[in-house]
Amino acid sequence: MKILIYKYIAIAVLFISCYACKKELGALPKNAKVDANTILDQATAQIALNGAYYRFANATITKTGWQSHQIIPPMFAGYLGMYSSILPEEENRNDRASSSYWAESYTLLNAVNGVISGINALPAEKFTANRKKEMIAEARFLRAYAHFKLLTFYGEWYKADSPRGALLRDELSTLSNIPKKRSTVKESYDYILADLDDVIINGPATNPNHYVSKWAGMALKTRVLMSRGGAADYGTIITLANSLIADSPYKLEAIAEDVFHKNGLASKEVILGIKPQANQEKETYSTSAQYWPGASSLYVAKTALKTMYDNDPRQAWMIGSVRPRPAYFFFTKYMKENGVPSALSETYYVLRLTEVYLLKAEAIVRSGGNLAEARIPVHQVQEKAGITATANSQPYNAVENAGTPATLLFEIYKETVKSLIAEDGMEWMALLRLPFETVKQVKPTITSQTQYILPVPKDEFLYNPLFGDQNPGYSKN
């Protein structure tokens, strides 16, 4: 028990290990050990909020650590792999899979809850204009993001009546409140959506895109509602998507490749991204080096992903040359072969407008809407990849000729994989929204829905006796 208690105390004390008063990821300040009691005014509240963003980026003094968001979900889905060996994630042997999301999310939650508590305790006159509400909204977005990550990787998010939701953390962890029961799936969704509704109402309308805006709250809400999949959710997704497309400052990149190989966070379609630490591209084990030429690991595209891009112009810049080991190829979405690592190749993408277009299309189909209307946003995304009715028309025609909801949903799934592969798990979630029989056909190593989620780390049961049952198919021991 002492180990976990000390762990939580350490997190509570260090929760705003931040990177400077200004809004920029960079070196830690001289005094990184600041507790909630030091939130005294707007300036110190901003330092604390920056510390929460630092945890969101899973940052250290040398680099941001978001590569697990890129590689683990497409491994589960069958599209990326490890060149030197087969990882459990690749074969959906989830009892041996990584628990990195668990630790990362709860570290972030503790930071965020400390920030919210500290800011709430201050009077409004300590802040200029609406900045108090905006800062709380930014923190609540980060809390919603962390809880949703936990729900979708460790909870039965696909069962509305399941008791196995997320372990919701809504306050700074202390010795007395560590033991807690996990919430139901319904309670989890309700809590996450309440946070996001506050972001949409009170979040800043403008912010650098490596920080949260109200538009990011809307985009994440579309993602959450699509996973919940209630009958009323699809109409809300369409409404939110229409507002993001028509009213927000974000626009689809004219050439899809330019997001990753030219513009990065300067792209007008990036709603929320993660800015790399200064000079992190020079690290020996940088993200870039894990894609080419290979550092401690080499993460590669599998044949299933290469085949997905057949007759698609994106294959030329997404899939590199074959490796000596058959059926493995360099994955070049972020790092080109023979290229030089840069801040651009070290940049991560949390939310892009492309996802909003595709979720809108999926929501139209799932709500029983007009299939021709649903094809429009898919074709708009394809156009930016160089696919039109007259150019590279096979992928275009596959969407156009999908004459039933089931066939069109599968085409939307394929476009989701091709557009959003290795960003933040959307290829994996889109797969799991398909009928179970289709899931098994796409990824034959998935034989049970218990493989949709990971086991709760065993230490949770040792130190939190109130948590409840382990996820089905896994052991507490």
Amino acid letter, 404: T
Is the pLDDT at 2 greater than 50? The verdict is no
- Locate 225 and state its tokens: 């509602």
Beta carbons within 8 Å of 378's beta carbon, 6+ residues apart: 357, 358, 361, 399, 411, 412, 415
Q: How far is CA 294 from CA 62, 284, 291, 325, in A?
A: 19, 10, 6, 14
Confidence of residue 391 (pLDDT cuts 50, 70, 90): confident
Q: What is the pLDDT of residues 336-377, one digit of tens each?
A: 999 999 999 999 999 999 999 999 999 999 999 999 999 999
Is the pLDDT at 32 greater than 80? The verdict is no
What distance in Å separates the CA atoms of residue 415 and residue 419, rounded to the nearest whole number?
6
Q: What is the pLDDT of residues 253-263, one digit of tens each?
A: 999 999 999 99
What distance in Å separates the CA atoms of residue 80 and residue 1, rounded to the nearest whole number?
38
Q: What is the pLDDT of residues 82-138, one digit of tens each?
A: 999 999 999 999 987 778 899 999 999 999 999 999 999 999 999 999 999 999 999
First to last CA, the chain: 16
SS3 assignment, position 216 = helix
Q: Are strands 328-331 and 348-352 parallel, antiparallel or unpaired?
A: unpaired
- Locate 25 and state its tokens: 């990821």
Is the pLDDT at 13 greater than 90? The verdict is no
Residues of the chain by 3-state class (helix, strand, coil), percent to 5: 50, 5, 40
Q: What is the pLDDT of residues 133-188, one digit of tens each?
A: 999 999 999 999 999 999 999 999 999 999 999 999 999 877 778 899 999 999 99
Confidence of residue 36 (pLDDT cuts 50, 70, 90): low
Strands (DSSP E) found in 205-318:
270-274, 299-302
Q: What is the pLDDT of residues 191-221, one digit of tens each?
A: 999 999 999 999 999 999 999 999 999 999 9
- Locate 42 and state its tokens: 């707007």
What distance in Å separates the CA atoms of residue 172 and residue 151, rounded to the nearest whole number?
19
Phi, psi of 282 (to 5 degrees): -85, -5
Confidence of residue 37 (pLDDT cuts 50, 70, 90): low
Q: What is the pLDDT of residues 456-468, one digit of tens each?
A: 999 999 989 999 9
Element housing 299 (H / E): strand 299-302
- Locate 442 and state its tokens: 């796409």
How confident is the prediction for the chain on average, in pLDDT?
92
What distance in Å separates the CA atoms of residue 212 and residue 217, rounded to the nearest whole number?
8
Q: Which residue has the tokens 């510390």?
A: 51
On the CB side of 325, how many CA atoms lie within 13 Å of its CA?
A: 15
Asked if 121 contacts 136 with a C-beta cutoff of 8 angstroms, the reply is no
- Locate 126 and state its tokens: 């300590």
Q: How many whole angstroms from its chain centre is CA 113?
A: 20
- For residue 94, give the DSSP letter: G
What is the pTM assigned to this prediction? 0.93
If we measure between CA atoms, which residue out of 417, 297, 423 comes closest to residue 349?
A: 423
Domains and CATH numbers, the chain: 42-273+350-463 (1.25.40.390)
CB atoms within 10 A of CB 96: 10
- Locate 418 and state its tokens: 């091709």
Burial 285-303 (b: 16+ CB within 10 A, else e): ebbbbbbbeeeebbbbbbb
SS3 assignment, position 358 = helix
What pLDDT does residue 35 have? 53
